Structure 1
Amino acid sequence: MDRGEKRVKSELPGAGRILFPGIALYAAGVLAGGVAGSLSTPLGRVGIAIRVAGLLLLAWGAIRRRSLTIWIFWAMLAGIELGLDAPRLAIQLRVLSDIFLRLIRVIVGPLILGTLITGIAGHGDLRAVGRLGLKSLIYFEVLTTIALAIGLVAIDVSKVGTHLHAGSASTAAASALPGGSGLAEAHPAQAPQQISWQEFLIHVFPESIAKSMADNQILQVAVFAILFGLALARLNEERRAPMMRLAESLTETMFAFTNLVMYFAPFGVGAALAYTVAQSGLGVMLSLGRLLLLLYIALIAFALLAMLPAALIARIPVREFLRAVAEPATIAFATSTSEAALPRSMEVMEAFGVPRRIVAFVIPTGYSFNLAGSALYLSLASVFVAQAAGFRMELRTQIVMLGTLMLMSKGLAGVPRAGLVVLMAMSSIFGLPEGPIFVVLGIDALMDMGRTTVNVVGNCLAAAVVARWEGEFRSEAPSEQVLAAVED
């Protein structure tokens, strides 16, 4: 048992003793006084008092756990409560969400520049790896493309975001609050302009990287970073090293900057939800519930339609594989962090029969190139944001978005709240409003558990498939140390 698993098992019970009663108390308050209990009735006052007590218990749990995720979840509930009970005050708090929006915007350009350069130039030795690297990349890109497509099909068929937009319009029209224009106008943006493919292609390439950064033209920044990384990878080690150190320093600095900004996330998320509920009512929560359910259905569909066929085609024993990856998958689901499951993933796959050299290359490389669960979420969430704002995205635009997400997701493994960063980038590229993104962030932790689990299981499967493709699956016995570690 590794340290990551021990930490998970020791922390979860302590968290549950505080968090689950807090959630239960809040739910009891909803049942006692109704969802929008009024201060004018005794039962309504009792319901509000119980819900506030539940929020206080959750806040105590967040203080004890020192968990940003719990604080964001608490802020989501507190924002909903404030939007219901004090709508006029909630509307005034929009300034906090606007400040958070500005802080996130300033992160995106430098972070994508640094991560893409280091991600691409850092894999400049793929040519030396040869056939193994090529086969791994082919598998990664095929599975990622399928994941993106499943996300797009799921959101287009279900149209979950349109429920949010319709609810916002209807409730705002009936609201007595001034300026009650709903979620779509919470952070206004112009609908995407229809341009020719020639104009789009020209717009992709930057005239000046400084101008692209200043104008927050994220796609141009990404193209520059990709070309720069490819050029850097062609240099010899001596000439490449100084620029790599600079890019890595920029990346690490932006990681630290992102962590600093994320301390403000509970205020931004709480204020955004308070404003949205005050303007649009509780319809937003129903739409978020539908989005969460849709994501997990889409992830299961990806597992059945893409991962299972890949395993069967490669003649991987599925039941044995599922037993082998159960432990790292549990760690990933509990921590919402792929890195916590990485050591265990490598151990169990070597014990499963994948040679160490393939495990050592495929699984770490997959953390940059094979984040299928995250890719599915990003395609689904991007169109959800457009639907929530009332924008109709044509198939051509969605295909361009799919290709853009394919590029944007590379090298973002380990980025704090990477989903938020990429969604903000997509809003800049395609002219979408940022308001719905903050609403999605409120349930990001619940969605992160599912997509992280798929990322981890997908990378383990990739190692087994590539090993079979190379004709080396179960060609050598695992070391005694690995077997002993897996059996512990």
Structure 2
Amino acid sequence: MKKLKVSLAVQIFIGLILGIIIGAVYYGNPSVSTYLQPIADIFMHSIKMIVLPIVISSIIAGIAGVGDLKKIGKLGFKTILYFEVVTTIAIILGLLFGNIFQPGAGVDMAHLSKTDISSYVETTKHVEEHSFMDTFVNIIPTNIFNAFVQGDMLAVVFFSVLFGMGVAAIGERGKPVLSFFQGVAETMFWVTNQIMKLAPFGVFALIGITVSKFGLSSLIPLGKFALLVYASMIFLVVGVFGLICKIAKIKLIPLLRLVKDELLLAYSTASSETVLPKVMQKLESYGCPKGITSFVLPTGYTFNLDGATLYQALASLFIAQMYGIHLSIPEQISLMLVLMLTSKGIAAVPGTSFVVLLATLGSVGIPVEGLAFIAGIDRILEMARTAVNLTGNCLATVFIAKWEGQFDEEKANSYIDSIKKSKVA
């Protein structure tokens, strides 16, 4: 008898549905968190445990393979340029959707429940003082071990690139070091595959906790805003990302199929960190060189948050409209410029989008108290933001690989064919 094989995506989806059911049935019952939180923590801790070793070893092995300082400098410039252009388009798109559909107009604040946002205020003080130049200064860590402990991805990427260049520069003497880090990367990918087997349980627990706390009914008063956020995210993927794919001759649907398990997991957990190791592995198998994948993808986690920047622009207008504040074109341009600065380099901060909004709204005269009205449904919206952020970074990696003329089309096609054959079998 042939053994029934259930794919990871199906397992995660089953976990998602069961989590929603349990959360809805036990809505308002604090014991749900008591039982499910340890399961969620075990999964999230397991993922966080492997992220840094994979990023460090992959970057060092990839960069040491490139070995050319000019090539690395050119790669960095192209990557940052691409990120800045696409995130700016995402902000403009959020402003357009907000102006056209007016989601905050006519909202009765008396019927909206408020959520405490005081936990974000302390972090916001740091972000308000955070300038664009600070982002680049903070890339260079004063203590690399401290950067490892804090999970400062930009500092880790910078050090790993520099270390990889050093390994390449010393030639034959660097080969044992290169072999060591190649071995570490391959070992950690094996560990990743084992940890991913916990994903359905982690998703079940995280969704169950979320729904039991806020309930599905919390979406109803802010339904128009939530639907518009999701619609704008879909438009960003289909319209903007689709256009980028057409320009670069990238097949969007096969790319989405390639990372569908990771997209579903990122959506369910509202964390793109959970899938970083697996996505790196898949993009390399898809035809992106290790040196490009290991540099572009982790850097994108800080510089290329397309879904988050779109949401921040849309949420800013929603709150302004809710309070009856009309923002002129110059004020909206000012809002766009502030978001371009505040959304960079703080991806490691908990509740990033909320922190950025708290730091931004006051600067353009929008009451920050308005965030308390949408905090209750933020988890549902964060799920969409995370999935779009991940999609944007996967596309960025393939785009940069093509721009550098290093994308392996043959490898991509053979990888897609192998997946199709495995499904048939």
TM-score using structure 1 length: 0.57
Q: Deviations over 1:258-299 (max 9, x none)?
A: xxxxxxxx9xxx9xx9xxxxxxxx9x9655111110001101
Change in CA separation of 1:248 and 1:427 when aligned onto 2, cut-off 3 Å: farther
Structure number with greater Rg is: 1
Is residue 2:156 matched to residue 1:222? no
AA aligned opposite 2:302? S
Is residue 2:105 matched to residue 1:162? yes
Q: Deviations over 1:108-136 (max 9, x none)?
A: xxxxxxxxxxxxxxxxx998721111111
Residues 260-299 of structure 1 mapped to structure 2, 5 A cutoff:
286-299=220-233
Is residue 2:365 matched to residue 1:364? no
Q: Deviations over 1:125-160 (max 9, x none)?
A: 998721111111111111101111110111111111
Q: CA deviation at 1:462?
A: 0.7
Residues 68-83 of structure 1 mapped to structure 2, 5 A cutoff:
none
1:306 aligns with one of 221, 229, 240? 240
Q: Report the number of matched residues.
A: 322
Mapped contact 1:183–1:435 kept (Cα < 8 A): no
2:377 aligns with one of 443, 456, 473? 443
Is residue 2:376 matched to residue 1:405? no
Counterpart Cα distance in 2 of 1:424 and 1:232: 22
Counterpart Cα distance in 1 of 2:142 and 2:262: 36
Counterpart Cα distance in 1 of 2:127 and 2:105: 27
Mapped contact 2:91–2:336 kept (Cα < 8 A): yes
Which structure has more RCO (C-alpha within 8 Å, separation ≥ 6)?
2
1:61 aligns with one of 26, 32, 48? 32
Q: CA deviation at 1:338?
A: 0.4
Counterpart Cα distance in 2 of 1:217 and 1:331: 31
Secondary structure of 2:30's aligned partner = helix
Mapped contact 2:13–2:264 kept (Cα < 8 A): no
AA aligned opposite 2:21? F
Counterpart Cα distance in 2 of 1:379 and 1:68: 35
Give the match for residue 148 of structure 1. 91
Give the match for residue 20 of structure 1. 21
Give the match for residue 417 of structure 1. 351
Gaps of at least 5 residues in structure 1 are: 26-53, 70-124, 173-181, 188-212, 234-239, 253-265, 274-281
Give the match for residue 136 of structure 1. 79
Q: CA deviation at 1:301?
A: 1.1
Q: Provide the alpha-carbon RMSD of the alignment.
A: 4.0
Secondary structure of 1:55's aligned partner = coil
Give the match for residue 242 of structure 1. 142
Give the match for residue 251 of structure 2. 317
Give the match for residue 464 of structure 1. 398
Q: Deviations over 1:278-327 (max 9, x none)?
A: xxxx9x96551111100011011111221001111111123322221222
Mapped contact 1:332–1:453 kept (Cα < 8 A): yes
Q: Deviations over 1:145-195 (max 9, x none)?
A: 11111101111111111221xx24xx69xxxxxxxxx999x99xxxxxxxx
Q: CA deviation at 1:388?
A: 1.4
Counterpart Cα distance in 2 of 1:338 and 1:443: 19
Is residue 2:281 matched to residue 1:347? yes
AA aligned opposite 2:99? D
Counterpart Cα distance in 2 of 1:345 and 1:394: 41
Gaps of at least 5 residues in structure 2 are: 1-6, 41-67, 153-208
Q: Deviations over 1:337-385 (max 9, x none)?
A: 1011111211221122111111111111111111101110111111111
Change in CA separation of 1:360 and 1:64 when aligned onto 2, cut-off 3 Å: same
Counterpart Cα distance in 2 of 1:475 and 1:356: 15
Residue identity over aligned pairs, in percent, reads 31
Secondary structure of 2:338's aligned partner = helix
Counterpart Cα distance in 1 of 2:141 and 2:253: 45
Counterpart Cα distance in 2 of 1:485 and 1:361: 26
Give the match for residue 316 of structure 2. 382
Residues 69-108 of structure 1 mapped to structure 2, 5 A cutoff:
none
Mapped contact 1:374–1:455 kept (Cα < 8 A): yes
Mapped contact 2:268–2:383 kept (Cα < 8 A): yes
Secondary structure of 2:324's aligned partner = coil
Which one is further off, 409-418 or 395-404?
Answer: 409-418
Secondary structure of 2:229's aligned partner = helix
Secondary structure of 1:337's aligned partner = coil
Give the match for residue 338 of structure 1. 272
AA aligned opposite 1:154? F
Counterpart Cα distance in 2 of 1:312 and 1:413: 29
Q: Deviations over 1:35-75 (max 9, x none)?
A: xxxxxxxxxxxxxxxxxxx534x533333212899xxxxxx
Mapped contact 1:15–1:65 kept (Cα < 8 A): no
Q: Deviations over 1:54-113 (max 9, x none)?
A: 534x533333212899xxxxxxxxxxxxxxxxxxxxxxxxxxxxxxxxxxxxxxxxxxxx
Give the match for residue 98 of structure 1. none
Q: CA deviation at 1:433?
A: 2.1
Change in CA separation of 1:397 and 1:217 when aligned onto 2, cut-off 3 Å: farther
AA aligned opposite 2:27? L
AA aligned opposite 1:327? D
Counterpart Cα distance in 2 of 1:369 and 1:485: 31
Q: Deviations over 1:223-253 (max 9, x none)?
A: 2xx43454576xxxxxx6537777888888x
Change in CA separation of 1:389 and 1:142 when aligned onto 2, cut-off 3 Å: same
Change in CA separation of 1:390 and 1:356 when aligned onto 2, cut-off 3 Å: same
Change in CA separation of 1:392 and 1:313 when aligned onto 2, cut-off 3 Å: same
TM-score using structure 2 length: 0.64
Q: CA deviation at 1:443?
A: 0.7
